[in-house]
Structure 1
Amino acid sequence: MHNRYEYIMDIANSDDNIRGVLLYGSRADGSVKPDQYQDYDIYFIVNDTGKFNISIFENVMFCFCPSEVYPELFPGKNTYLMLFNDDDRIDLTVCTMQTFLSGYTNDQLMRCLLDKDNSVHGLNSDDKRGHWVKPIDEKSFRNTCLEFYWETQNMAKGLKRDELSFAMFIRDVSLRDMLNRIIDAYIGMRYNYQVSVGTLGKHRKKYLSQAHYELYKNTYLSNTTEDQWKSLFYMIDLFSSLTRQIAEKYNFTYPVNEEQYIKNYLSAMIK
């Protein structure tokens, strides 16, 4: 469709139950370079969610409703993820003003597209602070380091036993979570905690050095058992490099002995 915004507004204006339309996400952020894959992240503020009928949208080729599958995650909301025949995508959330305000903070990027009752126009916001990386404190830093190194030997154990699903779960869930936590803390440190790494860290490449990003890519190696072992040691190398810099910057105590013990332990296992 030539102008998806006009289509959204036509729908909202034609339905008296819809009282306001809000845009959020990357399209509400003027600093994001637009591309053909951007979603339209939309809130419809309604009087009654029960009266909203998604069939008002035409030419929808695919629709998934997370709020039906996981209602506990979307209290008071109806959510519709729609893909249209022109490849446009709308991520639509339908809720009342009361429900919206219960989870709203003024540090969220937001654009008011329609306000029938003069009640939502004040929600326009260019504030990005809610998306910025948060500092890590010393207790969280130390616990993350110790848990990371503990989980490395669990992955190694799975590889030695030829238990692929176990080893990859440890790597891609447990270890990945802690590595990403440290990567984000490192990026925040370098940019004075006035930066966002984006949803699921999609902008990490932008803020890491080329050397660090090459290491990061190599942590995903998976084709062979040898690759999986290599990915583990790449993870350790990257984690160690970043955590040591964080520790030096903030004068945190770094678990040097624990790291070295685990490295020796893993080196013995792989022989």
Structure 2
Amino acid sequence: MRTEREMTALILGVAERDSRVRAVFMNGSRANPNAPRDIFQDYDIVYVVEETASFRAQPGWVDVFGERLVMQTPDEMDHAAGQPTDLARCYGYLMQFADGNRIDLRLMTLSRALEECQSDSQTIVLLDKDGILPPLPLPSDTAYHIRRPDQTAFAGCCNEFWWTLPYVAKGLWRGRVTYALDTLNACVRPQLLHMLSWLAGTRTGFAVSAGKSGADLPAYLPAGCWERYLSTYADAEPGHVWAAVFAAAPLFLDARIRLPRRWLSRSTKRRPKEACVICTGCVSCPRMLQKFFEQLFPPTASVFIPFRKGAALKMNRSSKTVQWTKGPLM
């Protein structure tokens, strides 16, 4: 596998020899001083060019970077699919090489490059033949820090979580486990991750990044919180999906209760108590969950779902009762 020094020399060497390339800058994790280093980090590179047409007319020009296993040209694909693109200003090549390295290379005209480098705090100028790029601050991940939500975003997150959660139950009732899992992961989980990210933000002064898919959150959440989040990932066994549902709901509520009540929108506060009890978290779990979960029963006479640390959930469809056994919820 080529080293970072070798890859950087290659990227700059190609740019220096090609008169069409006037500047080079890098962004992404390799430009983030707080990102852990490993051999699988991509090289996110921008070549500032006078035009893109001559490059697009010679697809093989990227062969100079080495033997590829696979390549994707996302702008070309979007253009072919009829999506809005501006190939004359920006054109990308995502290249996975046989030695394990990867370069995500984008060609940008100067006007487009100025928009990019001034909006991304993780930017390092590697080459500027004509002094066309502006002075940039030292690279940091500030542009990716968790943002404090406004009232609209916070209320929308709460509403979307509780609105989509019953769809998981609906899928399980109908025996459509793939639908249930897709809804859990595509609709419910993003709202849970938002809530946990905001919780991490309040504990750190909103001075940290959650990382991709929340991967950096364990360092900023209360003890045991990340383990509870991991328990919401389920395989295709219906009972395990039910367990994930009943793990996600109390975790969402616990995170919500720890956040400032001032984030509630005025419209939420004016709603009748029975309409907003779930969203505001004004009734503690599991008492509140009992009313909500009575509508989510599996189509069996009774269900016993074990959780970690000695806790378990007992549900009885005929009597419509929910009972937590001794021990913590998780």
Deviations 1:135-164 (A, max 9, x none): 112333223212211211111011111112
In terms of Rg, which structure is larger?
A: 2
Q: So what's the TM-score if we normalise by structure 2?
A: 0.75
Q: Counterpart of 1:182 in structure 2: which amino acid?
A: M
- In the alignment, does 2:122 pair up with 1:109? yes
Instruction: Please show how residues 142-161 of structure 1 align to structure 2 within 5 Å.
Output: 142-161=155-174
- Residue of structure 2 aligned with 1:221, choices 221, 228, 234: 234
Deviations 1:7-45 (A, max 9, x none): 101111111101111011111112222111111111111
Q: Which residue of 2 aligns with 1:43?
A: 46
Q: Which residue of 2 aligns with 1:205?
A: 218
Distance 1:241 1:123, change over 3 A: same
SS in structure 2 of the partner of residue 22 of structure 1 = strand
Q: Distance in 1 between matches of 2:120 and 2:71?
A: 30
CA contact (8 A) 2:96 2:103 kept: yes
- In the alignment, does 2:27 pair up with 1:14? no
Q: Which residue of 2 aligns with 1:86?
A: 99
Structure ranking higher in helix proportion:
1
Q: Distance in 2 between matches of 1:195 and 1:30?
A: 13
Q: Which residue of 1 aligns with 2:294?
A: 264
SS in structure 2 of the partner of residue 229 of structure 1 = helix
Q: Which residue of 1 aligns with 2:302?
A: none
Deviations 1:180-216 (A, max 9, x none): 1111111111111111112332322332234111111
CA contact (8 A) 1:108 1:130 kept: yes
Which is further off, 210-219 or 227-236? Answer: 210-219
Distance 1:222 1:83, change over 3 A: same
CA contact (8 A) 1:156 1:167 kept: yes
CA contact (8 A) 1:24 1:111 kept: yes
Q: Which residue of 1 aligns with 2:324?
A: none
SS in structure 2 of the partner of residue 43 of structure 1 = strand
Deviations 1:91-121 (A, max 9, x none): 1111111112234435511100000111126
Q: Which residue of 1 aligns with 2:8?
A: 5
Q: Distance in 1 between matches of 2:23 and 2:90?
A: 15
Q: Distance in 2 between matches of 1:256 and 1:78?
A: 51
- In the alignment, does 2:27 pair up with 1:24? yes
Distance 1:182 1:42, change over 3 A: same
Q: Counterpart of 1:101 in structure 2: which amino acid?
A: L
- In the alignment, does 2:162 pair up with 1:132? no
Q: Counterpart of 2:43 in structure 1: which amino acid?
A: Y
Q: Distance in 1 between matches of 2:129 and 2:253?
A: 54
Q: Which residue of 2 aligns with 1:67?
A: 75
Distance 1:172 1:61, change over 3 A: same
For structure 1, the residue ranges without an aligned partner over 5 or more in a row are: none
Identity of aligned residues (%): 26
Distance 1:74 1:219, change over 3 A: farther
Count of aligned pairs between the two proteins: 270
SS in structure 2 of the partner of residue 158 of structure 1 = helix
Q: Counterpart of 1:237 in structure 2: which amino acid?
A: P
The alpha-carbon deviation at position 259 of structure 1 amounts to: 5.8
Q: Distance in 2 between matches of 1:153 and 1:7?
A: 53
CA RMSD of aligned residues (A): 2.3
Q: Which residue of 2 aligns with 1:168?
A: 181
SS in structure 2 of the partner of residue 105 of structure 1 = helix
The alpha-carbon deviation at position 54 of structure 1 amounts to: 2.7
Distance 1:88 1:139, change over 3 A: same
Deviations 1:241-271 (A, max 9, x none): 10111145x4746154686632332258663
